Structure 1
Amino acid sequence: MTKALVFQMTSLKSNVLRVEKLSVSYGEHPVLDNLSFDLGKNEIISVLGPSGVGKTTLFQSIAGFIDIDTGTIQIQGSLYDQTKNKVSYMLQKDLLFEHKTVYDNASLPLVIQGKTYEEIKGKVMPLLQRFGLENTENLYPFQLSGGMRQRVAFLRTFLMGHRIALLDEPFSALDTITRSKMQTWYYELVKELELSTILVTHDIDEAILLSDRVLVLNGKPGKIVKELVIEKDKNAIESFPTSHAFLGYKKEILKYL
């Protein structure tokens, strides 16, 4: 199949990203079929679905890592060969360099960007406290808990300087208690920093808790079989999982998985 990728200028005021009629295949094997959705400013969307449905392929398409077959992707007016510089991509594993300190791991994007020592220090040090990493700058990854390692990875992702973050199951390796704390922490942080986030997850509870909208992917090739708007009191996020509304959303999602 001939590859055809078109990135268009977007005139939408509130959307920072729009995917329209996106289809992707690997050779003769179709992976994604006719996906359309948008991402608003300061919005969190979860992409939920079983293994092998194409969630990671969707991320790689948005990031510009792979070709798509048909459809369009609009990212703040970017052309295709510029999209790698318009989104931040965080994988499931924290991928910290074990021989580097917290400070050096977090500041890596700024080093790559050619920032001066003074610029890097002035940017990183204030954010260490905001990301719950105060007094850890000289520690090494092996000295950190799983949750702290993920905070370093989140800070490194944030310092890439983009307002669109693609997070591929960032909490899945954490224990239940740590994962719950990190989910609440990230939800509050992303709203404060005004990030727009697409989160890939297998965890229904996580998708409902963190998201403004949930996109359910299913089938082979993967299609969006349900889009669910999640309404909640954003000032009472910790009590939301025990509410009747939360259970109602979960029952609705389960119908499509």
Structure 2
Amino acid sequence: MKQMKFLLVALMAVVMSVSVTSCMKGENESSYDLGIYATVVDNMTVTLLSDDGNVYYPENPAALKVSGETSYPKRVFAYLKYAEGVTAASEKKIVTVVQSGSLYTRSLCTQPDTIKNDIPLAGLSEFVLVDTKQVLYTNVPAYCNVLFSLYIDDSTVIVDLVPVTASGNELTVKLQQTIGNKDASYTTSGYASFSIPSVSEINRVLAEIHKDSEEVPVLTSVGGKIKIKIIGEGKNQQAYTLSAKEVQIDN
């Protein structure tokens, strides 16, 4: 499994630091109008598909790229300024990217047999499912965004979202730290975005996981939608469970 450096996003710290240090153009005018979590869609014209369902058209899309990178990140947190004459009510929301940072993005794990560790989490707080198909894009995957905390030191850390089982149209997945130091004691917050594959791909993974079981769980969509429930484990087998939420994905 490809190892990548875990990019921590301490949400309030990011928001507060930029809010406090943002330049003021005038007494009542901020350098930005809004901050969004968004998927970057690079399809001839670069657009930002915000998690709240709005689509933004940046006049300076290169500002979304990480320094030294030639391609756009999949997911970003960005501060935006509306173009002159554009407001939140405008049909086409043209903006300038004031500041941007990439989010830690992975796919729902489709090779759970390669995961050898399950290091306890420090906490599991909340998650949001981003349904891209209800906006404009049918070729962009839905995302599961998770807020959590974990134990960390200076070593590389990897967090995965792993299928566990299914019942009807509800899929249970486990958020787990699979690379890191099991003896670390420092805790910090993180925010990660996981792309969700098709129902058929999820069922392929479930079949592999439960190949030695008498009955293999099968996920079925209802109206093209499934429910996702996230679980996790802390120290001393402390169980975390977040209520299921619904999202539309491919069959």
TM-score for both structures, normalised by structure 1: 0.29
Instruction: Point out the structure with the larger strand share.
Output: 2
Larger CA Rg, structure 1 vs 2: 2
Alignment TM-score, normalising by the size of structure 2: 0.30
Which protein is richer in helix relative to its size? 1
Higher relative CO (Cα under 8 Å, sequence separation at least 6) belongs to 1
